[in-house]
Chains A and B, each alone.
Chain A
């Protein structure tokens, strides 16, 4: 066996750096949106509107019960067929073509939003009821109490778990190769099949993920420790 890591690195490397850009972009946007989705879902499920609670619970069950990869396919290939079909029926000509990266971001926002909403919901429930009572006793409304005191404390307590999900999302971006996003895996696969440097390419790919996720995990641990100290 003979390896050509140097050659593989020199030619695949620059392409993977572009891929890293895609990964960071998708993760940053996807994760930010997923936090917003998660907060809205959590608040919806804590609301007193019974039908809303039911609908959201079912929605979350569906998302959690199906693979993320299938959801990416669904958003990328199926949703646009529906949209174009419906607008056809209404008499419009549309040829909506969703971009693969956009489909990925939407998929992440929804999928991670559902998982993280459970985290936020239990963090909200876990806040000492004395906080609510202190807020109400001062003259704040239930909504203001939620906004000013409960949500900030719950989000802060959830930060360590957010960190875990962030690292997971980085790694899950590899699934986007399946819907043609030019992220790291797809670039590597293309390169490997052209050059037959299979061992070199996939080893470099694995290292690439480590280079991103290890410092990120480390950062999360540091932040977690800081939060514990200042409590």
Chain B
């Protein structure tokens, strides 16, 4: 059974059909990279997965259970699905440490000491052990994004969703964030990553999904997608971004 199984997902904003018929399945431990032109519905698809957007139609099975219908257990479900945003969205009034340990103490009733220890461990892992008492505004974009990753990890999610985690960063800061993500992939974290970093896709992805116009147009191993794309839209897109 797949960890995550998106079936016939559709989403409209008013008259605008953003997702038409999306089918994606993610196995435990898999790294799936989603690529596609702007406006193709990548973010909307990710946001539907943790129900930040309510799907208009279709089903999303998480460990075999349809979470679209689960209603009020949605907060329970979201604890298992971490999300990293393009713009980090750290809590500006909290220190780096508090950003990371707040959710586990409040939501998982973890003892303060234990949560703190774990948070420091995670912050060390993303290379920010020396910044725990800083405020987000005192950090670079790349550092903030690594805190955001640590914050998501602190809830011990089964799967992590990334929505263009590096596209708000200065080019020289992208590397550190990608490095952390590679490390996570190596440790077996299940990840769905929307990104324009084709190098990352080639190197880390188990599978690459190309979306266009609200559909999954093509999916395959990175090698197959990048060396021999089948669909004309995939070819055109890759020709544009790889040039």
Contacts and interface: CB of A to CB of B under 8 A. Distances in A.
A134 B90 CA distance: 7
B107 interface: yes
Nearest to A130: B89
A134 B103 CA distance: 11
B169 to A, nearest CB: 16
B151 interface: yes
Decide if the interface of chain A is mainly helix, strand, loop or mixed.
helix
A128 B76 CA distance: 24
B85 A138 contact: no
Contacts of A130: 85, 87, 89
Residue of B50, B93, B155 with most partner-chain A CB within 10 A: B93
Contacts of A133: 52, 83, 85, 89
A138 B78 contact: yes
Interface string A111-150: 0000000000000000010110110111111001000110
B106 A140 contact: yes
Nearest to B50: A137
A231 interface: yes
Interface string B130-157: 0000010100000000001001100100
B53 to A, nearest CB: 10
Interface string B47-65: 0001010000000000000
Interface residues of A, number: 19
B155 A139 contact: yes
B79 interface: yes
B106 A144 contact: yes
B183 interface: no
Contact of A153 (B82, B89, B93, B152): B93
Nearest to B151: A138
B89 A131 contact: yes
Which 4 pairs between the two chains have the least Cβ-Cβ distance? A139-B79, A134-B89, A130-B89, A137-B83
13 contacts: A133-B83, A134-B89, A134-B91, A134-B148, A137-B50, A137-B78, A138-B78, A138-B82, A138-B155, A140-B107, A153-B92, A153-B93, A230-B135
Given A137-B81, A230-B135, 19 more contacts: A128-B89, A130-B85, A131-B89, A131-B91, A136-B52, A136-B78, A137-B82, A138-B78, A138-B79, A138-B82, A138-B155, A139-B76, A139-B103, A140-B103, A149-B91, A153-B92, A156-B93, A231-B92, A231-B137
